[in-house]
Every structure is written in C-alpha cells, then in structure tokens.
Chains A and B, each alone.
Chain A
C-alpha cells in the first residue's frame, strides 16, 4: 500500500470528525503536550482510532490529535508522537505529519525535549532550531518516491524557515523570553549519549541532541510544508560524565519551562494567523 493510500484512509476516518480545517500543525514533544489542552472547541482523536496509526509506547506521550483553535487560528496538535527508538519504521514515524499536511496545514511547528550540547546552554533554555543533522543512519524517504507527495531529491538548504525563525525571535523578545538558536542533532537513542559521544556531537556542530524531529522535518519538507522547530533544553551535557540522567529529570525540566514554552508558541501562532 502506498503512503498516499494510507493518508487517504486516515483522512476518510478523520475529516468528518473535524469542525475546522487546520492551518498550522503542532508536534508537541516530551512534557510539552499540555499546550494542546489550551485549544478551544477542541476535538480529541486518539491515534488508535485511526487506520495505520500504531499505539504509542512511552510514558508521557499520550498519543492523540487535538484539533481546535488557538487565538482563533485553526490548528491541529499532536499530543504524543512516534519515535524511531520505539521500533516503528520512519514511515510510521512520519505518517502523522503527512496526514496533517493533507488536512490543510501548510506549516508545522516541531517541538522536542533535547539535551544541551552547546556549552553556553543551560537546563530550562528554549532553542529555536536553525538547522539539523540527521544522525539516524537512515532516512524516511528511502524507498520508491511517491511523486504526488514530493520530489525524489528534496532540497534541504533551508529546512527551518528563515522568516518563521525571525518571527520566533521577535516574538520571544517581545515576551521577554530568552531564546537560543542552534543546530538540532537527531539520533535514534534510546540510550542517552556517552560523554565521548557528547564531545563528538559538539565537534560535529550540534548544539542540542534528541531522538525525534529530524524524520518529521524531512517528511514535511518533502511535502513542501514550512517548518519551525523548538527544543526545550532539559539538561546540559558536560561531556565529562559527571551527571547521570533519568527520563524523570527530563520531564521535570520540561514541566518547569512549560509556561515559557506555551506562551511563546501561542504568541507565534497568533502572529502567524494575523
């Protein structure tokens, strides 16, 4: 079955349940799903009710679409996403982004929890993604290209839209929120990085490291969506191995910066709707 056919199946199950056609898609990362609770006139659709969507397996990842309005802008949010480390194929990981585009979203805002590799970053920082490095050792577009979805060789010269990044920075400034900018280094996980790997990532040009976002950004660009990305820096890697890390700490830090994160995204969506 082609991706196009799968998207068609999902739309058939989804479209009749929606009251709005979303303009903006939001992918909410670890601990950041709360933003979806602020949508007005929200309709919640668990992934498990949709064809071709497997059930999510990680605690903290709820696994549903929330469709509604944010500052009267129609949006579709993913509360929970699929990760490669869970054992899904990258086709499964990126199907929801394709679906959101097919529903009408022309822009996707990808968010994640990430480790800080740049030595000037601190736990609790927010980073707008300037670019990424695909270190998954695979690519969601491997296989026969479906020309209806996008080109065989998609351009990656500006994955994260320059004008949207500028908008994000202006908005953050207006709100008095400090916003870093940097390169997101995406890898499979699920084991966290060793100190030697943190130093390697730093040498390779990564500012933050995480286990998501890159496949979705590639699929979104393949389909011609505009992409904006944010990382919530949940811990600062020293590269010396002096700080063991647990998933609980990651969630705790996301909880702490959630207020900043939420107000920033809401303000950006509002300005994008103007």
Chain B
C-alpha cells in the first residue's frame, strides 16, 4: 500500500475517535512527554491502535497521540517519537508528521534533548533551533516522490520558521526563561559521539547534537509546514572535555529542566497567532 494511503488510513482512524481539528502539532522529546498530560478534553490514542503507526521502544517514550486543547489552541501531541536508531525506516520515523499535516496541522513544534557543543551552553539550557545539519547519513525523502505530499526537491532555505523563532524569543522573555540559539546536528546514534567526532561537528558549525528532529523537520518542510524547534541541553559534549555519559544522566537533567521547558512551550503556544 502506498505511503499516501497509509497516511490516509491513519487519519481516517483518528477522525473516528475525535472531532477535534488540530492546528498545531507537538513532538515531545525525551522527558517532555508530561506536557501532553496538560492537554484539555484529551483524546488519547495508543500508537499501536493507529493503522501503520510504528510502536516506540525507548524507555521514557510513552507512545501515545494526544489530541485536545492546550493554551487555547487545538493541538495534536506525540508523547514519544520514533528514532532511526531503533531500526525504523526514515519513512516510519516521519510517518506521524505526515499524519499530523493531513489532520490539518500547519505548525509543528519539535522538541528534543540534545548534547551541547557550543561552549557557551550548560546542561539545563534551552536552545532555539535556528537551523540543522543532516548528518544522519540518509534522507527521509529518498524514494519515489509523492506529489500529494510535496515537491521532489523541497527548498530548505528556512527549515525553522523565522517568524516562529521571533515568537519563541518574545515568549521566553515574557516568562523569564533564558533561551540559547544554535544549529542542531542530527546524527543517527545510538552510540554517543567520540571526542574526535564532537570536535569535527563543532568545526562543521554545530552548536548541539542529537538523534532525532532532523528527519521530522525535513518531512515537515516537504509538506509545507512551519516548524519551531526547541532543544533541551541535557549534557555538554565538548570533545576535549568529554566524560562518560549514561542515558540516566540525560534523563535526570531532562527531568530537572522540565518545569522550565513546559512553561516556555505553553507560553509559545499561547503567544502563537
């Protein structure tokens, strides 16, 4: 079955479960899933019940789609996402983004946990994603193009909406949250990077790195969505000063940063047109 028909089936299924027509999509990264619990009048769908949705395998990634209202906006939130390193194809990783768009979503807010490469960052910082480097080694659009989704060669000159970045900066000021800015390098993982690789990424222009977001944002741009990306710096990844890192440490900082992160994202939703 074509990807287009798979997406349509998923959309049809979701529409039998809720009448809500979401305008904003939220992808909630490591540790931020709790924000979905604040959605009003929620319709909660397990990924496993939605046709063609893959199922999440990472601890801390719940695996539910939540539709409802948040800060007066109609939203659809992914509580848990799919990662390339889990063994999913890039088409599977980005499937929910296509479903969101065909549900009517025009704006995608992507969040993640990342490692800080820029020396001016510190664990617990939030970073506004200005741009990205696709270093995953592949591209979710490889294969025949589906014209109903978007053009064969999507323009990527503004992968993250400048207008939405301005909204985020104003929202951060309004709630008193310091917001860093930078370029997010997306890698496949799942191994963390070596010191030499981290130094290379810094030389290539990266301020932060992580194992998600880039495929989703490429597909969102393919579909003509406006994207806002916010990353939570959970650890510093300076090649010259690298210390052993565990997933537990990442989750701890993500947990500690959560209240600030949630406050900011809610305010941004509130401030969006």
Could you tell me which A residues sit within 8 Å of B by CB distance? 57-59, 84-87, 137, 188-197, 199-200, 203-204, 241-247, 250
Most buried by A among B138, B155, B218: B155
**Complex contacts, B143 vs chain A, CB 8 Å:** 85-87
Which B residues, 217 to 253, have Cβ-Cβ distances below 8 Å to chain A?
218, 221-222
Q: A159 → chain B, closest Cβ, in Å? A: 22
A196-B131, A200-B205 are known contacts. Are A188 and B155 too (CB-CB below 8 A)?
Answer: no
Least Cβ distance of B33 to chain A in Å?
Answer: 28
**Residue in A58, A188, A203, A243 whose beta carbon sits within 8 Å of that of B157 in the complex:** A243
Q: Are A190 and B139 in contact (CB under 8 A)?
A: yes
Q: In the complex, what residue of chain A is closest to B131 when comparing beta carbons?
A: A196
Residues of A contacting B145 with CB < 8 Å?
Answer: 57, 190
Chain B residues in contact with chain A, CB under 8 A?
Answer: 130-134, 137-139, 141-145, 151-159, 183, 203-205, 218, 221-222
Cα A245 to Cα B142 in complex, Å, equals: 19
Collect the chain A residues with CB atoms within 8 Å of residue B158's CB: 241, 244
The B interface is mostly helix, strand or loop, or mixed, namely loop
In the complex formed, the residue of B with least CB distance to A138 is: B137
**One of B142, B203, B204 near A190 (C-beta < 8 A):** B142
Residues of B within 8 A of A200 (CB): 133, 204-205
Residues of B within 8 A of A203 (CB): 203-205
A196-B132, A197-B133, A241-B131 known; A189-B153 Cβ under 8 A: yes
* CB pairs A–B below 8 angstroms (24 shown): A57-B144, A57-B145, A58-B152, A87-B143, A87-B144, A137-B137, A189-B141, A189-B153, A190-B142, A190-B153, A191-B134, A191-B156, A191-B218, A191-B222, A195-B131, A196-B130, A197-B134, A197-B156, A203-B204, A203-B205, A204-B204, A244-B157, A244-B158, A245-B155
A245 touches B151 (CB 8 A): no
Known: A85-B142, A203-B203, A203-B204. A192 touches B154 (CB 8 A): yes
B139 surroundings in chain A (CB, below 8 A): 85, 188-191
* Closest 3 pairs (CB-CB, A-B): A87-B143, A196-B131, A137-B137
CB contacts (< 8 Å) of B152 on chain A: these are 58-59, 190, 247
Enumerate chain B residues within 8 angstroms of A194, measured Cβ to Cβ: 131-134, 156-157, 159
- How many whole Å from A4's CB to the nearest CB in chain B? 27
Q: Chain B: which residue is nearest A60 at the CB level?
A: B152
User: Which residues of chain A are within 8 angstroms of B221 by Cβ–Cβ distance?
Assistant: 191
Residues of B within 8 A of A243 (CB): 157
> Chain A residues with Cβ under 8 A from B203's Cβ?
203
B157 and A192 within 8 A (CB): yes
Chain B residues, CB < 8 A from A190 = 139, 141-142, 145, 152-154
User: In the complex, given contacts A191-B153, A244-B155, what are 11 additional A-B residue pairs having Cβ atoms less than 8 angstroms apart?
Assistant: A57-B145, A85-B139, A85-B143, A87-B142, A188-B138, A191-B134, A194-B132, A194-B133, A196-B183, A246-B153, A247-B151
Q: How many angstroms from the CA of A221 to the CA of B130 in the assembled complex?
A: 40
- Inter-chain contacts of B131 with A (CB < 8 A): 194-196, 241
Q: Are A195 and B157 in contact (CB under 8 A)?
A: yes
Identify the closest chain B residue to A241 (Cβ). B157
Residues of B within 8 Å of A241, CB to CB, are: 131, 157-158
From residue B194, how far is it (CB to closest CB) to chain A in Å?
Answer: 18
In the assembled complex, the Cα of A86 lies from the Cα of B137 at a distance in Å of 16
Chain B proximity of A56: nearest CB distance (Å): 11
Min CB gap B111→A, angstroms: 19
- The chain B residue with its CB closest to the CB of A84 is B142
Q: Closest chain B residue to A194 by CB distance?
A: B156
CA distance A225 to B176 in the complex (A): 64
Question: Separation in Å of the B237 CB from the closest CB of chain A?
Answer: 17
A243 CA to B152 CA in the complex, in Å?
A: 18
- Give CA–CA (A244, B224) in the complex, Å: 13
Closest to B219 in A: A191
Q: How far is the CA of A250 from the CA of B151 in the complex (A)?
A: 14
Supposing A197-B134, A200-B205, A203-B203 touch, asked if A192 and B156 sit within 8 A by C-beta, the answer is yes
